[in-house]
Structure 1
Amino acid sequence: MKNIQRNSFQLLVKPVRRLIEKRGFSKPTEPQEKAIPKILEGKNVLLISPTATGKTEAAFLPVLSMLLESPERVPGIKVLYITPLRALNRDMLERLQWWCNNLDIKLAVRHGDTETKERSRQARSPPDILITTPETLQAILPGWIMRRHLQQVRWVIVDEVHEMADSKRGSQLSLALERLRWVVGRDFQIIGLSATIGTPEKVAQFLVGNGRKVEIVHVPVGRTMKLKIVFPKPTSEDFKLSSQLYTHPEVAARLRIIREYISKRKSVLLFTNTRAISEVLASRFKVWDIDFPVSIHHGSLAKPSRIAAERGLKNGELKGLVCTSSLELGIDVGRIDLVIQYMSPRQVTRLIQRVGRSGHRIGRIAEGIIITMDSDDTLEALAIAKKALREDLEPVKIPYKPYDALAHQIAGLFLKRRRWEFTEILEIFRNAYPYRDLTMEDVEKILRYMHDRFPRLAWVSFEDEVALKPRRTKALFEYYFGNLSMIPEEKQYLVVDESANSAIGILDEAFMAEYGKPGIKFIIRGSPWKILHISGEKVFVKPVNDPAGAIPSWMDRGGNTCSI
């Protein structure tokens, strides 16, 4: 171990240190140096650090070290690694598999797309470490086999905490972690990983639960961030270009500037604020030059399309990706030279997160350019950029006692046990930070709803302060498993290329209600398509060469096609 200097890596067990040397890590990053000792001491930790500073290894390596030192190697899941996206699960599996393979530790991933065969394998032979999402954690908590495996959990790592803390997904996760503690029968160590955020103390309490101790390791944005705001004015060249691109001269000017930046770099992320704008921009680039090496990435494209875009940028086949928040998080697309933000990002935190994807190496400058569309947009972008350079961030607003998330979790309790006293329910869930002020009156209100609902979700005796699982449980199961996600449901239609019989993406109900009929041309994946016929919730299409006549496949909340 001569190449490894005296540092926090030396605190890890020998097998892990050997792999660190094999990996070529001679010196820990600042987040690793600060976080590893605290994690090895068994403390709950919230690690706040910019992108590309080794946060994942800062949490994972000490947990591996403690797992190897553990005298008990009974079958069961010892570590839960929770991420907000299935795509991040896939990335984490690839990233962590090397370490686990070399240490003879079983690692697996589980989410909504996991095949039945793999789920059965996990039930028979549980992994030591399970990578999952908040929704899938809700799904496996009631099952008696997986619940038995979860009783061995000693560590929970929550990645991208900032992405969940300010939404009901976060409220649901905090409640699920309290249920997990009840299943385990003891507390476990919890480690949260987050990008730069406002009010870190509040997020730390959200992570571990009300009143529990937690240490915050905050590494500021040490890399220099270079920001530039560009408000393009159309030239005579842009007036000619606008005719070619079927757009306005002002839009043509912005596209010309963006193309110049992309052409001069190896890899660029072009962030937009909506999917509609992403689709329109990508389609205009294709109209301009079908061979221009730029593609598109957002959450409503089919999985193969997203993976192809990610790999294309990483392998150098593409020079740029037009994207939304789908690439804000840590999905691996290789090293990024430059981030372009199309229009004001609206939030300081979002700008830091997005621009932080560039440079992607400690000591490198994170470079970002904001392309604005008018004077108001320019002034807003300027104010946000100044705040970003000062790290003057918006406070995180954690939802307070959302009843719908709590009702869902109480339903989950009935799947485990038939009889619950009001005080037991209160005791379990008021430890969750969003429910720190939960009262008996709150519990009674929710149980009243579950009792009065038809079909009934619980039979409740308010005199005895006892709630029972209903005799007929079909409605209870449907309610619980039908509401695993706190993301509002909207009917969606799968778009299928009929000639290739392959999925392209999805269309929402609002778009289909307005435009969903044979013969209509629309843009998705940056290209124009024509609807051939609709069968159930599938839209069969064929590619066409008519960019002027096609409409974007996404609209704004007012139902209007987007303005770029």
Structure 2
Amino acid sequence: MHDLVESHTGTLIFVNTRSVAEDIAFRMSLYYREALLKVHHGSLSRDVREEAESLFKAGKVKGLICTSSLELGIDIGSADLVIQFNSPRQINKLIQRTGRSGHWIKKKSKGIIICSDIIELEEAMAIVGQVYDKRLEPVIIRKGSLATVANQIILETHRKKSFDSDIFYDAIIRSYPLNNMTREEYDEVVKFLEETRKIRVEGKTLWRRSGTLDYFITNISMIPSEKNYRVIDIINRKFVGTLDERYVLNEVEPGSYFVIRGATWRTVRVEEDKILVEPFQTAALAPKWTGEDIPVMQDVVNRVSENREKKVVEDYVSGKSRDILSEWYKNDSGTIDRFIIESQGSEIVI
């Protein structure tokens, strides 16, 4: 990976989790003792991310190790190579990430996948195969979400104070995700909101109750909320990034070490919503953040299963990886139609 970065003008190294981004950046800084790469992910402060982008655009660092934070909407300058570390999990993600290189007229995008184990290699080969066959994952739009209907009713009562229920129903079923919602389903949602005292119903008119805005803001997201702690560098009083509450409660205490922004920090003290830290030169582990797993779609699973059955080693798999795959196929491997159970002592592995 280091040699690839050195031989190109600018490299984006995409990983699937923030923990892996931090771990790779820290390991490379320890091994090569040079400021070759910067880290970029959603749990770093905006200032830290913008500094990394600026240094990359100016050519002062040769690469960025990033998550989905650099997939969309950011002009990241003269990247001429994308490295994907381990399987990207999804076909669309591989195309989007690779397209961040050679991102100007008459240039070609260039991407390389580096895998750390055989399972990642199998999955990555399957995904690249789907790309060459021009098979993308279908766009899945969730239909008939009654939680969304409830949120929209509450928001409308806050905005208008009161409105006609029939007119609102006719309006929302014109949207594609709700075009099959029956009147009975809609009325059930209205009844539920009335019974739980979120709205007031008088005939066909829906009225606002107190506290509707607070309820809407609290429940608009389907993502479970978790408290974050702000990491503050006490040397210059700068905000570095955030850590999840679960990790902080289990792993962080005065004197403990962790890696963020690709460097080690020592915990000075933990306050109500922040962790005061100072730079410290020692080996440490990257934090764990929740909600980082990227799901693998069924088309990719089917392709992996098919490759195993036919013992496929594609031409685009290079070097030692070809030998590793050929050797792997000599073993019994699970497929869509067959799974293998192994046991050792009290442990059972499927």
| TM-score exceeds 0.5 | yes
2:17–2:292 Cα contact (<8 Å) kept:
no
User: Do the aligned residues in 2 keep the contact of 1:494 with 1:539 (CA within 8 Å)?
Assistant: yes
2:201 corresponds to 1:460 = yes
SS of 2:159 mapped into structure 1: coil
In structure 1, what is the equivalent of residue 100 of structure 2?
357
Separation in 1, partners of 2:14, 2:55:
17
User: Does structure 1 conserve the Cα–Cα contact (< 8 Å) formed by 2:16 and 2:292?
Assistant: no
Whether 2:233 is the aligned partner of 1:497: answer: yes
Aligned counterparts, 1:15-94, within 5 A: none
> Counterpart in 1 of 2:242?
506
Partner of 1:552: 286
1:117-166 CA-partner distances (Å, limit 9, x unpaired):
xxxxxxxxxxxxxxxxxxxxxxxxxxxxxxxxxxxxxxxxxxxxxxxxxx
The reply on whether 1:520 has 2:256 as its aligned counterpart is yes
> Does the C-alpha gap of structure 1 residues 304 and 535 become closer, same or farther in structure 2, counting only changes over 3 Å?
same
Q: CA deviation at 1:489?
A: 1.9
Which structure carries more helix by proportion? 1
Cα distance, 1:498 vs structure 2: 1.1
Distance 1:487 1:362, change over 3 A: farther
Aligned pair in 2 of structure 1 residues 558, 301: CA closer, same or farther (>3 Å)? closer
The 2-side partners of 1:487 and 1:327 are apart by 21
CA separation of 1:428/1:517 partners in 2, compared to 1, >3 Å: closer, same or farther?
same
Shift of 1:406: 2.0
Q: How far did 1:538 drift?
A: 0.7
Go from structure 1 to structure 2 and tell me whether the alpha carbon gap of 1:558 and 1:476 turns closer, same or farther (over 3 Å shift). closer
State whether residues 276 and 556 of structure 1, in contact with CA within 8 Å, keep that contact through their aligned partners in structure 2.
no
Q: Aligned residue for 1:469?
A: 208
Indicate if the aligned counterparts of 1:422 and 1:440 stay in contact, CA closer than 8 A: no
Deviations 1:381-437 (A, max 9, x none): 111112112321011111122222221111111122233232122112111211111
2:63 to 300, 317, 320: 320
Contact 1:285-1:292 at 8 Å conserved across structures: no
1:504 and 1:450 map into 2 onto residues whose CA distance is 42
Counterpart residue type for residue 146 of structure 2: Y
- Cα distance in 2 for partners of 1:506, 1:263 equals 31
State the Cα deviation string for residues 14-54 of structure 1 (Å, max 9, x = none). Answer: xxxxxxxxxxxxxxxxxxxxxxxxxxxxxxxxxxxxxxxxx
Determine helix, strand or coil for the equivalent of 1:366: coil
| Equivalent-residue separation in structure 1 for 2:250 and 2:146 (angstroms) | 34
**Cα distance change of structure 1 residues 413 and 555 upon mapping to structure 2, 3 Å threshold:** closer
Distance 2:235 2:219 in 1: 36
1:310-333 per-position Cα deviation (integer Å, ceiling 9, x unaligned): 111111111000000000112011
Task: Give 1:278-297 correspondences, 5 Å limit.
Answer: 278-297=21-40
Counterpart of 2:306 in structure 1 is none
Matched with 1:449 is 192
TM-fit CA distance, 1:480: 2.2
1:376 positional shift: 2.1
Deviation at residue 486 of structure 1 after TM alignment: 4.4
Aligned-partner SS, 1:341: strand
Contact 2:13 2:82 survives alignment (8 Å): yes
Could you tell me which residue of structure 2 aligns to residue 419 of structure 1?
Answer: 162
CA deviations over 1:338-394 (Å, ceiling 9, x no partner): 000000111110000000111112332211000011222212111111211232101
Establish whether residue 332 from structure 1 lines up as the match of residue 75 from structure 2.
yes
Structure 2: segments with no counterpart, 5+ residues:
294-350
What CA distance in whole angstroms lies between the structure 2 residues aligned with 1:517 and 1:402? 42
Which residue is equivalent to 2:173?
430
Matched, 1:539 2:260: no
Amino acid at match of 1:493: Y
Deviation at 1:545, TM superposition (A): 0.9
Q: CA deviation at 1:485?
A: 4.2
**RMSD over equivalenced CA pairs, Å:** 1.8
What SS does the aligned partner of 1:410 have?
helix
- Aligned partners of 1:523 and 1:261: how far apart in 2? 24
Identity of aligned residues (%): 34
Contact 2:38 2:262 in 1 (8 A): yes
Alignment check: 8 A CA contact 2:243 2:289 kept = no
The whole-number CA distance in structure 2 between the counterparts of 1:556 and 1:450 is: 31
Give distance in 2, aligned partners of 1:533 and 1:326: 29
Relative to the length of structure 1, the TM-score reads 0.50
1:290 offset after TM fit, Å?
3.4
Partners of 2:9 and 2:78 within 8 A in 1: no
Contact (CA 8 Å) 2:165, 2:206: kept in 1 or not? yes
Instruction: Tell me the SS of whatever aligns to 2:194.
Output: helix
Aligned-pair distance for 1:514?
1.1
- After superposition, the Cα gap between the structure-2 partners of 1:556 and 1:303, relative to the gap in structure 1 and judged at 3 Å, is closer
Query: Which consecutive unaligned segments of at least 5 residues does structure 1 have?
Result: 1-257, 560-564
| 1:415 alignment partner, SS class | helix
Deviation at 1:479, TM superposition (A): 1.2
Of residues 169, 182, 191, the one that matches 1:439 is 182
Q: Does the 8 A contact of 1:342 with 1:371 survive in 2?
A: yes
